[in-house]
Amino acid sequence: MKVTVDKTKCIGCGACASIEPAVFMINPEDGKSQADQNNVAGREDACKEAASVCPVGAIVIEE
């Protein structure tokens, strides 16, 4: 499963990082979330939850 964050949509609310901090972190440089693909394996459900909670639909999941 591939997880990416569309930085053009992300508003940096931090909800994704709260749900799954091993995958999502707010980049201090731009204040927006980024996903660490290396940590997705085994955390797919949390990534999907983060995507469903994101208020602007910025988390893109590809199976």
Binding site for ligand SF4 (CB under 6 A): 5, 10-16, 24, 33, 54-56, 58-59
CB of 49 to ligand SF4, least distance (A): 11
Nearer to ligand SF4, 41 or 58 (CB): 58
Nearest CB to ligand SF4, comparing residues 8 and 42: 8
Spatial separation of the C-alpha atoms in residues 62 and 31, rounded to whole Å: 24
Look up tokens 């797919």; give the residue: 44
β-sheet bridge partners, residue 5: 59
> How far apart (Å, rounded) are the C-alpha atoms in residues 63 and 55?
21
Nearer to ligand SF4, 42 or 51 (CB): 51
